[in-house]
Amino acid sequence: MAIQGVLRPGYVQLRVLDMEAALVHYRDRIGLDVMMTDDDGLVYLKAYDEFDHHSIILREAPETGMDFMGFKVASEEALDAFARSLRAAGVPVDEIPADEGRYLGRRIGFLAPTGHRFELFASMGRSNACPMIDNPELWHAEPRAMRAQRFDHCLLYGDDIDGTMDIFCRLLGFVLTEQVVAPDGTVIAAFLSCGMKAHDIALVRHEEKGKLHHVSFLLENWNDVGHAADIMSRYNMSVDIGPTRHGITRGQTIYFFDPSGNRNEVFAGGYTFYPDHPVRTWSTDEVGKAIFYYERALNDRFMTVVT
């Protein structure tokens, strides 16, 4: 089979300060479905076009940010192979047994040099609310609110992004698709793909470890990006910037914040990537256009507000 190894971002666990407010945000505004609340009060959600049981996990906590991000891999054998590769490279790997109550198969986890925890898993239970399979209609019911189709990627801020990139590219099979490079050759930002998307994870160099810049959801098109902006203003949600376009990936986008202050993105479009494509490179003097193609300048919030 042509796509092997890591398939895609599978889930992300976020810390929110107030679960009720978070649910209004993720369920009623972004349009995710609540699949389950577990015994610890964690809430599991998914977008309407995802097959797996959940992709977003919310945990009420006194501090915001990301607990961990999980990637789905093609098979249990691939999972074992990644565990071996990581350990061979000196990366400590922990193993978490399958948890049927949470619809989740066994996982392996590791701490990346940027201070982020990543997990890999090969199986998750399928939801009843997943896309139809037999004579499938477009959807069960019309997508709601911002009509998010899937959890798409995260952008993470951390210090040793070279170290984390090395793990993803050399050990996990990701490919660098696009980068911002300083005049001295330092990579400031790196966009990595494990498939045909322009990015599945992105990293920005930053003095602190383990920071989350944003969690991103895919929309169908630019029309839905505008509709999402309408919803944000109608309900006075906190917006960072947009609607705009990224020069990097070409995605059409809005950044906004959940009620706890975690940044979200909804976006559409962006190019299809293939591994024979060249790396696209931006110089720091064009970084404004790289990040916000229409404004051609960064805003301070983009560089400094992380959780």
Strands 150-158 and 33-37: unpaired
Residue 199 is a catalytic residue: yes
- 85 vs 244 by CB, closer to a second copy: 244
Q: At closest approach, how far in Å is the CB of 236 from a second copy? A: 8
Residue 197 CB burial class (10 angstroms; 0-12, 13-18, ≥19): buried
* Alpha-carbon distances, residue 199 vs 68, 145, 279 (angstroms): 18, 25, 12
Interface mask (CB under 8 A) for a second copy, residues 140-159, using x and -? --x--x----x---------
Residue 274 contacts a second copy per CB under 8 A: yes
Stretch of 3-11, 101-109, 157-165, 206-214 lying at the interface with a second copy (CB under 8 A): 3-11
**SS3 assignment for 57-100:** EEEECCCCEEEEEEEEECCHHHHHHHHHHHHHCCCCCEEECCEH
Provide the minimum distance between the beta carbon of 112 and a second copy in the complex, in angstroms, as a whole number. 18
Within positions 58 to 87, which residues make up the interface with a second copy, using CB under 8 A? 72, 74
Number of amino acids touching a second copy (CB under 8 A): 72
Question: Any contact of residue 243 with a second copy (CB under 8 A)?
Answer: yes
The least distance separating a second copy from the CB of residue 206, rounded to whole angstroms, comes to 23
Residue placing its CB nearer to a second copy in the complex, 158 or 251: 251
63 is catalytic: no
Distance CA(124)–CA(122), nearest Å, equals 7
Give residues 184-203 in contact with a second copy (rule: CB under 8 A). Answer: 193-197
Question: Per the residue annotation, which of 53, 54, 199, 206 is the catalytic one?
Answer: 199
Cα 37 to chain centroid, rounded: 21
CA angle 265, 268, 270 (to 5 degrees): 110
Q: Is residue 25 annotated as a catalytic residue, yes or no?
A: no
Q: What is the C-alpha end-to-end distance of the chain, expressed in Å?
A: 38
The rounded distance, in Å, linking the Cα atoms of 273 and 3 is 13
State yes or no: residue 250 binds a second copy (CB under 8 A).
Answer: yes
With CB under 8 A as the contact rule, the residue among 3, 89, 96, 182 that binds a second copy is 3
CA distance to 22, 24, 242, per residue, from 29 (Å)? 10, 7, 17
Active site residue 227: no
Q: Shortest approach of a second copy to residue 274 CB, angstroms?
A: 5
- 305: contact with a second copy by CB under 8 A: no
Q: Which of 214, 277, 286, 294 is catalytic?
A: 214
Contact window for a second copy (CB under 8 A) among 11-19, 79-87, 101-109, 129-137: 129-137
Residue from 84, 85, 90, 52 nearest 71 by CA: 52
289 binds a second copy (CB under 8 A): yes
Active site residue 235: no
Burial of 101 (0-12, 13-18, 19+ CB in 10 A): exposed
Which residues form the catalytic set?
153, 199, 214, 246, 255, 265
